[in-house]
């Protein structure tokens, strides 16, 4: 049972980080504030690191992470719709803040439903949630 719970948390951590990377990639062509672009690039690199670390944990359980083309298309479409009429830095920063908040909520939910997970998955999820909270604080100056 513990193995299954650890896998659930690793999957959510990988999915959360991958979604953040794809969102930032979709937004970068719409960001014209150089300081904000630098912040997003830095965040993207850290999210990619979390994604790789979660994938490594899944590999240890003999699992390959799934990359859904449909999920990527839906995310891209959502970003395009949300920035169609407004690409201002405050609007895009707010979108990223909402994404970080949603990521924290999703990780908390999976952690609560999988209480006896392994320490690696738990520590990685906690580290990602802390990073997302720090992102929110840093992004507030762009609102």
93 pLDDT above the threshold of 50: yes
**CATH code linked to domain 2-142:** 1.20.1260.10
More confident residue, 139 or 68: 139
More confident residue, 116 or 95: 95
What is the model's pLDDT at position 136?
98
48 pLDDT above the threshold of 90: yes
C-alpha span between 80 and 65 (Å, rounded) = 26
Helices (H) and strands (E) in the chain, counts: 5, 0
Per-domain boundaries in the chain = 2-142
pLDDT digits over 103-131, tens only? Answer: 999 999 998 888 766 689 999 999 999 99
61 pLDDT above the threshold of 50: yes
What is the model's pLDDT at position 118?
66
28 pLDDT above the threshold of 90: yes
Percent of the chain with pLDDT over 90: 76
Q: What is the DSSP string of 86-110?
A: ---HHHHHHHHHHHHHHHHHHHHHH
What is the model's pLDDT at position 1?
45
């Amino acid at each position: 049972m513990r193995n299954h719970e650890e896998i659930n948390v690793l999957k959510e951590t990988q999915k959360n980080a991958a979604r953040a990377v794809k969102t930032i990639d979709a937004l970068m062509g719409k960001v014209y504030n150089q300081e904000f672009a630098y912040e997003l690039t830095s965040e993207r690199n850290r999210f990619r690191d979390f994604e790789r670390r979660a994938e490594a944990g899944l590999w240890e359980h003999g699992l390959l992470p799934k990359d859904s083309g449909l999920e990527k298309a839906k995310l891209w479409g959502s970003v395009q719709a949300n920035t169609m009429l407004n690409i201002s830095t405050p609007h895009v920063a707010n979108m990223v803040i909402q994404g970080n908040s949603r990521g924290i909520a999703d990780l908390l939910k999976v952690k609560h439903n999988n209480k006896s997970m392994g320490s690696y998955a738990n520590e990685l999820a906690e580290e990602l949630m802390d990073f997302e909270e720090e992102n929110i604080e840093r992004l507030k100056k762009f609102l």
